[in-house]
């Protein structure tokens, strides 16, 4: 949603939503006993001074890529700049200490770092070095990592046509028997089409690699129709082992559009799921997608951010046939997040990046949503703080953004939760529109006293395998603690213009031990790896035992 035009229909819809939710009681503290982390915003002290800004094209986007660019396994930060230049920051934080970053020279021509809306990290050419997919207003760029946080343009090398669209979404997956990843780019408004911007959504693009020794993306499919996508996600929605592409679209500009799901039959062109397949029409101001398996049934749930209320979809299975029919359980679970939770501004919220993570290490997945007015839309909240929805043991979520200290007066866009100082607590980076990037350090459990207390136990897991798909994109982790299995899917995509690669964080609560099983991307399950809590764990495919990894204790270590 990027318009500054009056939005009568949007307002009407939002008003209905508010009326429905007006009676929703705010969760009382005693009903939300799950630990609440306390965050401290310290971007400037950490050495990060960066802003995403620009005209209309940059009302959307504003992403970050979180990945290790220098081989020390600490998560580094690539930040989109919009009209300004994107920037890469190397993480120099000592383990458990203050956050610390330093800007690094990527070696790229400056022009390639301009007009960037977002970025996703992945190893495209299987050389063990992280590459970057750069989303831009104009030609998208595949950047090949050469080590030490340096990159080289690789569109020509990979026979990739970056196009000239206004790109705002990305997802990648390794399809069966393909040596290199399939890339999907989500495009927004086609500004050159007659009548733009109304009803002139650009097609999305799917790039499958051709057979060969090196990545070759000379063929691509136009995913037509496109409905002004702002987020894409590959997902195994039906446990078939075959990924499908979920696309969230902004209803503000499309005509006759809807949310989309594309099937990707191996070796055949993608095709959209239709009503006859069970797919139901849903129109939202789709801004970001997050997924996790909340109910442990092996089928993912999806959080879809929008203007007004966030959706939380679970599959609505009736009978034996598994159809892509979804039911919205956001209200039941308390994650509608439809208006600001503090302040006097009761107008509807505008949601962007969404991400499920366990921020308090209690084993329950929590939900972060970046919030912020598109620019100055009068019908939507101007003060619209980001959400931190902490899951409780009854399955409902409780808003704790204010208590956690993340409720800043900034217009959030892309974001990411990652353990930047390797202390077992997820920190938070938020890219804000026309305001400095926020970098929050997770200090521990807020108990009202001056000094935060520790949170639950945790492990962080990094997978690797030889050959193609070295970082096991598409793998599933099953972590057994006591009688429960916690799951994580390793994917590239979703959120809002933001992605990450590296350690997968898992809260273990009070468990001191866990057994990890890996379903590798080809479907093979590993044996159980026995690990102790509060460790970084490296699992190399085929190895009998997991290895532990320890971060540098001091910056100079």
Partner 1 sequence: MPCWKTAAIPLLAVLALGDPARAADSPPWSEKVLGTPLDLEAVARLPMQERIAVLRDHGERLFIGKFLVEEGAGRPMATQAIIPTKRRRPVHLRFQRLAGLDASSCSSCHHEPVVGGGASFTANVFVSEGFESADFDTIDPQFSNERGSPALQGAGLIELLAREMTAELQSRRDTALAQARQKGTTVTAELETKGVSFGTITAHPDGGLDLSRIDGIDADLVLRPFSQKGVFGSLRQFTVNALNHHHGIQPVERFGALWTGTTDFDEDGIADEIGAADVTALVVWQATLAAPTRKPNLPADWQQAATRGEALFADTGCASCHIPALPLKSAVFRDPGPRETAGTLREADVEAALEIDLAELDFVKALPRDADGNILVPLFGDLKRHKIADAQEPTLGNELLGQRFVDRDVFLTAELWGAGSTAPYGHRADLTSLDEVIRAHAGEARTSRKAYEALSDEDREAIIAFLRSLEIVQ
Which residues contribute to the site for partner 1 (CB under 8 A)?
A: 33-35, 71-73, 361-362, 392-394, 444, 447, 451, 453-457, 481-483, 508-513, 530-535, 538, 545, 547-553, 557
Q: Which is nearer to partner 1, 239 or 453 (CB)?
A: 453
Min separation Cβ 483 and partner 1, Å: 4
Q: Which is nearer to partner 1, 41 or 362 (CB)?
A: 362
Q: Which is nearer to partner 1, 41 or 68 (CB)?
A: 68
- Quote the CA–CA distance of 374 and 164 in Å, as a whole number: 23
Our CA angle for 373, 35, 291, nearest 5°, is 50
Q: Which is nearer to partner 1, 8 or 28 (CB)?
A: 28
- Region class of 228: left (phi > 0), else alpha (psi between -120 and 50), else beta: left
Distances, alpha carbon 403 to alpha carbons 273, 346, 348, in Å = 42, 19, 21
Q: Which is nearer to partner 1, 305 or 391 (CB)?
A: 391
Q: Which is nearer to partner 1, 392 or 438 (CB)?
A: 392
Q: Which is nearer to partner 1, 482 or 523 (CB)?
A: 482
Q: How many helices, marked H, and strands, marked E, lie in the chain?
A: 4, 38
Min separation Cβ 110 and partner 1, Å: 32
In DSSP notation, 277-303 reads GT------B--EEEEE-SSSSSS-EEE
* DSSP assigned state of 113: G
Backbone angles phi, psi at 271, to 5 degrees: -140, 145
Min separation Cβ 46 and partner 1, Å: 21
Q: Which residues pair with 79 in a beta bridge?
A: 64, 87
- Quote the CA–CA distance of 92 and 437 in Å, as a whole number: 18
* Pairing relationship of beta strands 64-67 and 499-500 according to DSSP bridges: parallel
C-beta separation of 356 from 365 below 8 A? yes
Q: Collapsing DSSP states into helix, strand and coil, what is residue 260?
A: strand
């Amino acid at each position: 949603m990027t318009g500054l035009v009056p939005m009568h229909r949007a307002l009407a819809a939002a008003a209905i939503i508010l009326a429905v939710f007006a009676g929703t009681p705010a969760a009382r503290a005693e009903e939300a006993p799950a630990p609440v982390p306390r965050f401290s915003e310290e971007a400037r002290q950490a050495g990060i001074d960066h802003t995403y800004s620009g005209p209309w094209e940059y009302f959307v986007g504003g992403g970050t890529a979180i990945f290790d660019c220098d081989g020390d396994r600490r998560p580094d930060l690539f930040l989109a700049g919009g009209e300004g230049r994107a920037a890469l920051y190397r993480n120099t934080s000592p383990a458990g200490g203050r956050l610390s970053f330093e800007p690094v020279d990527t070696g790229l021509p400056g022009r390639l770092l301009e007009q960037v809306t977002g970025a996703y990290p992945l190893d495209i050419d299987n050389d063990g070095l992280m590459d970057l997919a750069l989303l831009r207003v104009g030609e998208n760029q595949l950047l090949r990592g050469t080590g030490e946080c340096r990159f080289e343009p690789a569109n020509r090398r990979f026979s990739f046509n970056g196009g000239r669209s206004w790109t705002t979404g990305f997802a990648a997956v390794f399809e069966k028997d393909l040596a290199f990843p399939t890339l999907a780019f989500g495009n927004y408004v086609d500004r050159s089409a007659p009548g733009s911007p109304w009803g002139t959504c650009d097609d999305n693009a799917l790039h499958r690699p051709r057979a060969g020794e090196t990545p070759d993306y000379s063929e691509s499919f136009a995913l037509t129709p496109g409905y002004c996508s702002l987020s894409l996600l590959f997902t195994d929605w039906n446990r078939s082992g075959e990924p499908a592409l979920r696309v969230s679209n902004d209803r503000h500009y499309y005509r006759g559009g809807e949310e989309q799901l594309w099937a990707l039959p191996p070796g055949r062109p993608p095709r959209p799921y239709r009503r006859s397949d069970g797919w139901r029409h849903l129109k939202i101001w789709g801004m970001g997608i997050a997924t996790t398996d909340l109910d442990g049934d092996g089928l993912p749930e999806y959080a879809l951010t929008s203007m007004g209320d966030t959706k939380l979809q679970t599959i609505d299975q009736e009978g034996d046939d598994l159809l892509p029919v979804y039911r919205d359980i956001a209200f039941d679970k308390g994650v509608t997040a439809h208006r600001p939770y503090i302040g006097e501004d009761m107008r509807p919220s505008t949601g962007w990046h969404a991400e499920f993570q366990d921020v308090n290490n209690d084993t329950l997945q929590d939900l972060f949503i970046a919030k912020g007015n598109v620019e100055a839309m009068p019908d939507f909240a101007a003060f619209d703080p980001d959400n931190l929805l902490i899951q409780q043991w009854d399955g409902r979520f409780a808003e704790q953004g204010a208590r956690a200290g993340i409720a800043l007066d900034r217009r959030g866009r892309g974001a990411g939760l990652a353990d930047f100082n390797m202390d077992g607590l997820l920190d938070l980076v938020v890219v804000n529109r026309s305001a400095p990037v926020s970098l929050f350090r997770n200090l521990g459990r807020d108990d009202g006293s001056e000094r935060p207390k520790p949170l639950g136990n945790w492990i962080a897991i990094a997978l690797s395998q030889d050959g193609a798909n070295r970082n096991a994109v598409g793998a599933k982790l099953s972590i057994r603690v006591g009688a429960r299995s916690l799951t994580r899917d390793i994917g590239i995509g979703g959120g809002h213009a933001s992605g990450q690669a590296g350690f997968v964080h898992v809260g273990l609560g009070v468990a001191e031990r866990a057994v990890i099983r890996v379903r590798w991307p080809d479907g093979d399950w590993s044996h159980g790896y026995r690990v102790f809590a509060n460790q970084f764990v490296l699992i190399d495919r085929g190895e009998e035992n997991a290895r532990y990894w320890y971060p540098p204790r001091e910056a100079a270590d």
